Structure 1
Amino acid sequence: MTHKIIQPEGWLPAKGYANGVLTRDGVLHIGGQIGWTGEQRFESQDFIGQMRQALRNIRAIVEAAGGKAEDVTRLTWFVTDKREYLARQAEVGAAYREVFGRHFPAMSMVVVAGLIEDEALVEIEAIAHLR
C-alpha cells in the first residue's frame, strides 16, 4: 500500500472522500475542512468560530497521523465573504494563533461563491510533512 487513510478517533466517517491521506514518504494531504465538529455538527454560524473549528480539525488530523501543527507546510483557504475576512483580521489572527501558535506555513486565500455545505463559511485544506 502506498498510502494510509487518516481519520481521527471518534469522528463520523467522511462520505466520498478522506479527511487525511498519508503517503509512504510522510506527506499528509488533508481534505478541505469546514467549521463543523467531528460529529459533523456546526456549533457556530459565525466566520471566526467556523474558521477556528476548521483549523482545529486540521490539527486533529495531523495529530492522528502522528504529527504536530508545526508539520503543516501549506494551507489553502476558501472563504465565501472577502469583506468579512478582511474586516475581522484581528480576530482571524487571534483565532489562528490559538490553534496553530506562531507557525505560519505557505498559504493561499480563494474567495468562492459558495461551499457544498450551505452553512459553511470557510473551508481550509492542508499539506503536512511528517518527520
Structure 2
Amino acid sequence: MKYLLPKGWPRPSGYSNGVLAKGQQVFVAGMVGWDENGTFAEGLVEQFEKVLQNTVAVLQEAGAGPEHVVRMTWFVKDLDTYRQNLVPIGLTYRKVMGKSFPAMAAIGINDLVEPEALIEIETTAVIPDDE
C-alpha cells in the first residue's frame, strides 16, 4: 500500500489524500453505532467508537484489519457536534484503528435510515496479494 502525497502539498492530519493498493478488495457497508441487539450507544463519540468496532468485526471476517483500510466515508448528522468533538473522535479513532490513515471524507447529512444513528461510515479495504 502506498499513501499518495503530491509534491509540495502539506501532509494531511488524520487521513491521506489517496492510497494506491493492489490485492483483494473488502467493501464494508455503512456501519452505525449499535450493538448486536440493535441498541445504540449514547452520544456521537460513543456511537463513533461502536461504528469502528463494528467495521473491524466485518473486516476480520475477511481476514483483514484496520491496517488494510484504504478509504472511509463518514456521514454525520450534526457537523457542529462533530467539530466540537474532534479531539475525542481522533483519540477514539487511534484507539480502535491504530495508525491507519486512509483516504477519508466526512459529509454532513440531514438524516440516516436508522433514526437513532448519529454517524454512519462506509469502508473499503484491500488485502495485499502477498499476505
TM-score range, shorter chain: 0.7 to 0.9
- Once the two structures are TM-superposed, the CA of residue 114 in structure 1 deviates from its matched residue by 0.7
Which residue number in structure 2 is paired with residue 60 of structure 1?
57
**Cα offset, 1:96, TM superposition:** 0.5
Greater length-normalized contact order (CA 8 Å, ≥ 6 residues apart) = 2
Maintained 8 Å contact 1:71/1:129: yes
Cα pair 1:38 1:57 within 8 Å, conserved: no
Gaps of 5+ in 2: 1-22
Larger radius of gyration: 2
Partner in structure 2 of residue 26 of structure 1: 24
Shift of 1:64: 1.0
Equivalent in 84, 91, 96 of residue 93 of structure 2: 96
CA-atom RMSD, angstroms? Answer: 1.0
TM-score (norm 2): 0.78
Q: After the TM superposition, which parts of structure 1 deviate over 4 Å for at least 4 consecutive aligned residues?
A: none
Displacement of 1:38? 2.7
Distance, in Å, in 2 between the alignment partners of 1:114 and 1:56 is 22
Shift of 1:41: 1.9
Partner residue of 1:74 out of 71, 75, 78: 71
SS at match of 2:111: coil
Q: What is the aligned partner in structure 1 of residue 44 from structure 2?
A: 47
1:11 maps to which residue? none
Q: Which residue of 2 aligns with 1:15?
A: none
Equivalent of residue 35 in structure 1, options 10, 33, 36: 33
Report Cα offsets for 1:71-121 as digits up to 9, x if no partner. 010000000000011011110101111100111100001100010111000
Deviation at residue 39 of structure 1 after TM alignment: 2.8
Provide the TM-score with structure 1 as the length reference: 0.78
What secondary structure does 1:93 align onto?
helix
Unaligned runs of at least 5 residues, structure 1: 1-24
